[in-house]
Amino acid sequence: VIGDAITSVTLVLDGLCARVDMPSEDRRQITAIYIKGNVFDLGGIFEPEAPATIEALTDASIVRVPHGDMRALMRVYPAVAEAFGRYLMGDAAITAEWLINVGGREARAALAHLFCEMAVRMGRVDGNSFSFHFPLSQMQLSEATGLSAVHVNRSLGSLRRDGLMRMAHGMVQVPDWEALKRGAHFNSRYLAPESARRFAH
């Protein structure tokens, strides 16, 4: 799929998709997760070659819009072009934060950070105690965090024992949002314009 021409922009209607890089035969790294309302392959408008592969992490439904239509839209409504630029910026900010997460935080914090980001992006933060649907396998979590699947398991157990969060049957339960944020060194600043990054619900 790498190197393929991309001919359309894709909107995620439901489910989860991921940008996956395969640096070698045996390693996979998830470099972005797209949720309901997110758009990917927007960059294909400018550079019609896939830098990476997009996969569905769960059952997902999507809508594809041909690049030609997008270009036409941009020409008619200049604000659309501006929105694209903003959106690309947002994506880049999230990728940079992932770089920090994968590179510099220890396992528990990295996982906690991922859950914090998802909770905020999904708009599921509601009070200090809440839960949300996030049905990734531990192997998928390991590909997103750069950890081994085994260590993901142990770290999730550790977070659970500490009462920071628990994950079961695809649901993440956060009993103490403030504590989780603290444990993850999470600051949502980089997600500020996320509301603007979701086009549908």
What is the radius of gyration, based on Cα positions, of the chain?
17
With CB under 7 A as the contact rule, the residue among 39, 114, 155, 159 that binds DNA is 155
Q: How far apart are CA 64 and CA 44, in angstroms?
A: 12
Specify the pairing of strand 17-24 against strand 27-34: antiparallel
Q: How far apart are CA 188 and CA 136, in angstroms?
A: 22
Q: Cβ 83 to its own copies, closest distance in Å?
A: 8
Q: How many residues does the chain have?
A: 201
With CB under 8 A as the contact rule, the residue among 11, 12, 16, 102 that binds its own copies is 102
Of 5-13, 16-24, 163-171, 172-180: span binding its own copies (CB under 8 A): 16-24
- The pair of structure tokens assigned to 12 is 């995620």
Q: How far apart are CA 94 and CA 89, in angstroms?
A: 9
With CB under 8 A as the contact rule, the residue among 8, 14, 15, 43 that binds its own copies is 43
Binding site for its own copies (CB under 8 A): 2-3, 19, 21, 23-24, 27, 29, 31-32, 43, 45-47, 49, 51-52, 81-82, 84-86, 88-93, 95-100, 102-105, 145-146, 185, 189-190, 192-193
Binding site for DNA (CB under 7 A): 106-108, 137-139, 146-151, 153-157, 169
